[in-house]
A = this chain, B = another copy of it.
Amino acid sequence: MTDSVARPLRTAVTRKDVARYAGVSAAVVSYVVNGGPKNVSPATEARVQEAVRVLGYRPNAAARALKLGSSHLLGLVVPDTRNPFFIELAQAVEEEVSAMGYAVLMTNSSGSPARERTHIRNLAGRQVDGVFLASNLFEPDLAELQAANIPTVLLATTMKAEGFSTVGTDLRAGAKAAVEHLIGHGHTSIALAMGDNVVGAMDGRELGWLDALSHAGLGEGPIVRSPFTRAGGYAAGQRLIAAAQRPTAVFASSDMQAIGILRALNEAGVAVPDEMAMVSFDGSIDAEYCWPPLSSVKQPVRAMAQAAVSALVGELRTAEPQHLVIPSELVLRSSCGCP
């Protein structure tokens, strides 16, 4: 820390240098660089841009942020970059905002609520224009963002946090559709593979699994809880195989866990779908490229990103927080028993 505190400011090409090269006033350079507040003729603007390019002038972002009250920087907190769903969501958010001239500061909480709080504090301190928060927690700590008065959209959630817009999909409806599909294939003993980090309220995917079973008059299959990782899924798969009354199907609450379960089944020579049918949740690229390919409930990644960007910095940015719930879609491949 001491090291960089002691480092002096870099000397660099200034606005005055650009003004002299372009033959305009420093104020005009500022109008061009900041897009206002006054207009500049196209010919003058071209001359200034040429000077900027030739001299390698870079407006000081920190100074501009102070002056304009905006950094054109958005924060994105994701809970776990090992999860392909969050990577795909981050890619979609990035593509949407970069088209609007924003850069994204992406941070990874790696499954740690403490790290999530640190990232939120850092982003608040950096005066980003807004934050997309995909939390590790069902009830994230929003105090820092509220105190800093930073516009925030909660991503990949359907919780109704006072004063915050949310964008998510209906986990319960998606899970119910997945389990009903397995029931349609004739299964009566359907297990659930769930994460082990659910505290307090029941996960929507667990509720959807229960909904489908009870509507069909079926008893609850076994529930296997393990970490939300590939290794967690692998352990869950081994437990399913060893179960006294082995189920004939399993609904996995994430592709990541499903990939681990598949590995355990493949290793043990348990045929999928004949001896164990599977449907997963997320619909990430991993579901398409594993073997056999996984039928999976596809989260509406692109639509969620578009809605979140619109709510944070686009058309939906209104005084009233939005609560957007976008439907998921069951994508059928071969792991469920479909041809």
Known: A66-B63, A73-B126. A12 touches B289 (CB 8 A): no
Contact of B124 with A58 in the complex, beta carbons under 8 Å: yes
Q: Which of B12, B72, B259 contacts A149 (CB 8 A)?
A: B12
For A268, the chain B residues whose CB sits under 8 A away are none
- Nearest chain B CB to A11's CB is how many angstroms away? 8
For residue A140, CB closer than 8 A to chain B, the reply is no
Q: Which of B12, B95, B107 contacts A103 (CB 8 A)?
A: B107
For residue A199, CB closer than 8 A to chain B, the reply is no
Contact of A127 with B2 in the complex, beta carbons under 8 Å: no
Report A31-81 residues with CB < 8 Å from chain B CB: 34-37, 56, 58-63, 65-66, 68-73, 81
Contact of B289 with A291 in the complex, beta carbons under 8 Å: no
For A260, the chain B residues whose CB sits under 8 A away are 289
Contact of A36 with B5 in the complex, beta carbons under 8 Å: yes
Contact of B62 with A5 in the complex, beta carbons under 8 Å: no
Contact of B91 with A61 in the complex, beta carbons under 8 Å: no
Contact of A289 with B259 in the complex, beta carbons under 8 Å: yes
For residue A290, CB closer than 8 A to chain B, the reply is yes
For residue A106, CB closer than 8 A to chain B, the reply is yes
- Nearest chain B CB to A46's CB is how many angstroms away? 19
- Nearest chain B CB to A58's CB is how many angstroms away? 5
Contact of A10 with B149 in the complex, beta carbons under 8 Å: yes
Known: A5-B36, A66-B63. A148 touches B290 (CB 8 A): no
For A65, the chain B residues whose CB sits under 8 A away are 62
The 5 closest A-B pairs by CB, nearest first: A56-B147, A9-B69, A4-B70, A62-B65, A61-B126
Q: List 14 A-B contacts (CB under 8 A).
A: A1-B72, A1-B101, A2-B35, A4-B68, A7-B68, A10-B150, A56-B144, A62-B62, A62-B63, A81-B91, A82-B285, A234-B289, A286-B286, A290-B290
Query: A residues within 8 Å of B by Cβ?
Result: 1-5, 7-10, 12, 34-37, 56, 58-63, 65-66, 68-73, 81-82, 87, 90-91, 94-95, 98, 101, 103-108, 110, 115, 118-119, 121-122, 124-127, 129, 143-144, 147-150, 230, 234, 259-260, 262-263, 266, 285-286, 288-293, 313
